[in-house]
């Protein structure tokens, strides 16, 4: 017998409530205001946009935090086709560093909301939640221009991503806008069931942790979205109850060759030496989930 009734899974498939949406919008607005009103930043070409599960509409009620990227576009990192460098595009070396920009973002948030409410972390700056806003993570980043991926020699033609360095100096490159676009397309192609399924998977993961199942920390929200993105559309579309669908998708992922899986952006491989997760850890989680849901009985 399945652990959860269809009614429960169907409820878990739904997005955040209207009240949560308002608190999330408040957090976004407050970060924008802090950046716009800080002297060292207000005249910069900065784009503040939402990334992660909120804007992808896969956030769940147990954890509706919001991930906001603060992207500087006056200065950017770039990757060029073989044989080309910045001189071919007329670019010059920047005089300001990423660390300088990150410090300014931290100071802007502290100035507006107080030191006690701002907690700089390894990759993001955390804003504590209140009754009016959810917990928010501000991610300072430089624009990342990938000319190589489309073999472009035109300075205005590139694939846009973001690049930043963690406090431990780990390089992070991703493509949040492409992630959003591809997620929407996948959702349309699956009759809106891709994102519903992602929410259910995330809620199940949360329940597993609550029930003291030893789920590895590397099994993140981002990883779950990406795994499901690589599932064949048919697995979402066919008309069966949620328990049948979830059971079949877990089996599909467990049995499938995942070595060529990509992130939702389709610009980076999901499994490589830079990841905190690997295929074995994913398979172990899928097995845990299968058993947790009672599908083995």
Query: Could you tell me the residue ranges of all domains in the chain?
Result: 15-174, 179-292
Instruction: Output the pLDDT for position 20.
Output: 60
Q: What's the pLDDT at 26?
A: 76
**Helices marked H in the chain:** 6-12, 18-36, 86-89, 98-113, 176-189, 193-210, 221-229, 234-237, 242-255, 279-292
Cα-Cα-Cα-Cα torsion 155, 157, 159, 161, nearest 10 degrees, comes to: 50
Classify domain 15-174 by CATH architecture. 2-Layer Sandwich (3.30)
Is 171 strand, coil or helix? strand
- What are the 10-residue block averages of pLDDT along the chain, 297 residues in total? 90 75 74 92 91 68 71 95 93 90 95 90 83 75 96 95 93 93 95 95 95 96 96 93 96 98 96 94 98 91
């Amino acid at each position: 017998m399945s652990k959860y009734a269809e009614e429960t899974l169907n409820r878990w498939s739904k997005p955040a409530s209207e009240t949560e949406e308002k608190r999330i919008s408040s957090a976004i607005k407050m970060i924008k205001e802090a950046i716009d009103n800080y002297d060292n930043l207000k005249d910069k070409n900065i784009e503040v946009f939402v990334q992660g599960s909120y804007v992808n509409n896969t956030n769940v009620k147990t954890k509706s935090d919001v991930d906001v990227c603060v992207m500087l576009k006056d200065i950017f990192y770039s990757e060029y086709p073989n044989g080309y460098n910045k001189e071919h595009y007329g670019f010059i070396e920047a005089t300001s560093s990423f660390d300088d920009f990150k410090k300014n973002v931290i100071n802007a948030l502290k100035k507006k909301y107080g030191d006690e409410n701002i907690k700089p972390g390894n990759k993001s700056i955390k804003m504590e939640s209140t009754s009016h806003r959810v917990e928010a993570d501000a991610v300072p980043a430089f624009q990342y221009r990938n000319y190589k991926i489309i073999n472009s020699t035109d300075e205005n033609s590139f694939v846009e991503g973001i690049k930043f360095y963690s406090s431990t100096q780990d390089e992070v490159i991703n493509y949040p806008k492409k992630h959003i676009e591809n997620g929407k397309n996948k959702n349309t192609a699956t009759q809106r069931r891709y994102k519903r399924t992602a929410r259910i998977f995330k809620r199940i993961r949360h329940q597993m942790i609550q029930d003291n199942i030893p789920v590895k920390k590397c099994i993140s929200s981002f990883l779950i979205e990406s795994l499901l993105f690589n599932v064949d559309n048919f697995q979402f579309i066919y008309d069966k109850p949620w328990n049948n669908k979830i059971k079949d998708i877990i089996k599909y992922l467990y049995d499938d060759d995942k070595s060529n899986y990509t992130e939702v952006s389709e610009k980076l491989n999901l499994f490589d030496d830079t990841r905190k997760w690997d295929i074995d850890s994913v398979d172990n989680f899928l097995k845990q989930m299968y058993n947790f849901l009672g599908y083995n009985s």
